[in-house]
Amino acid sequence: MSRVAVVTGAARGIGASTVRGLAAAGWSVVAVDRASDDPRLPYPLGSVEELHAVVASAAGGPSGAPTGAGEGGRVVAHVADTTDPDALGAAVALAEDRFGGLDAMVAVAGVIAGGVPLWEMPGEQLGAVLGVDLGGPITAARVGIPALLRRPVPRQGRFLAVASAAATRGMPELAAYGAAKAGVAGLIRGLAAELGDTGVTANAVSPGSTATAMLDESARLYGLDSTGPFAGQQPIKRLLAPEEVAAALVWLAGTDSGALTGAVIPVDGGLSL
C-alpha cells in the first residue's frame, strides 16, 4: 500500500515539484491549492488550470495525460484556502476516504509582500503574509496531525513545512515575511517536542532563492529587472530549482528520515552561511 500525503501550495513552484516527486516515489497525493488570486496581494497566485496541470503531469505520461497516477488515480486536486481549517480539513478527509489514511502533511503554500519598511507596509498585505506563511502551517498542523496520529502504531507520520533563509537572515523590506518564516521554524521545534515518541516527526526545509513566481515578485519588490542578482548572493552562484527543494521534502516524508525531528534543514545554496 502506498503512503499518502496532502501537499499545500501545489499549483506551482516548490509545492508542484513536491507533488510530482512524491508521485514518482509511489505516493498517493491530495494536491491542494487556493487556485485563485488573493485580493490583498498585487501579484497573481496559482490557478485552477495550473493545479490540474500538475496533477496530470504527476501521472508521468509523455503528453501529461493521466495514466493512473493523475486525477482519478493516485494524485487528486483539491481547491482549498490553506488558512481555513474546514477547507483544509476537507482535504485531509479526502486523503483518508480515498486512500485510507494520511502519512505526511506537507505545508508548502506561501506568499510574499513588502518592498517597504514594516511600518509602511499596508495592513492587508501584512495580514496576508502572516496569515498564509505562518497561519497556513499552523492550520495544516491542527487538521493534519490528528490524521497522522490515527495511523496505527507503529506509525511513521511526517509533518513538514517550508521555512526560508529569511527566517535567520535579516532581509530589508521583508521583515514580515522573515517573521512568519521564523515562526514556522519555532512551530516545527515545538511540534517535535509535543509529538515525542508518537512515531510522527516534524521537520522543515529552509530554501534560499529559488526560481519560482514568488522570487519573480521579490525581484519586482526590490525594483530589479530580473531574479539574476539573487543568484549572486548564494555561494553556489545560481538560483535553486524547485525540484531541488522538493527532493529534500520527499526524503523527509519517507520512512528513512525517522531519526530526524525538530530540524529546519537549509536547502539554500549556502545563503545562510
CA-CA distance, 57 to 15, in Å (whole number)?
A: 13
* HSE-CB of 224 using CA atoms within 13 angstroms: 14
Which among 27, 99, 159, 177 is annotated as catalytic? 177
DSSP one-letter code for 118: G
Contact 102/144 with Cβ under 8 angstroms? yes
Place of cell 499545500: 8
Whether 222 is a known active-site residue: answer: no
How far is residue 153 from each of residues 107, 198, 200, 203, measured CA to CA in Å?
A: 24, 8, 10, 20
Contact 132/109 with Cβ under 8 angstroms? yes
CA-CA distance, 251 to 241, in Å (whole number)?
A: 16
CA-CA distance, 272 to 259, in Å (whole number)?
A: 24
CA-CA distance, 9 to 43, in Å (whole number)?
A: 15
Contact 250/18 with Cβ under 8 angstroms? yes
CA-CA distance, 145 to 158, in Å (whole number)?
A: 9
* HSE-CB of 235 using CA atoms within 13 angstroms: 7
> Which residues make Cβ contacts (< 8 Å) with residue 131, sequence separation at least 6?
83
Residue 247: all three cell numbers together:
527532493
Query: Which three-class secondary structure state does DSSP give residue 238?
Result: coil
Report the catalytic residues. Answer: 177
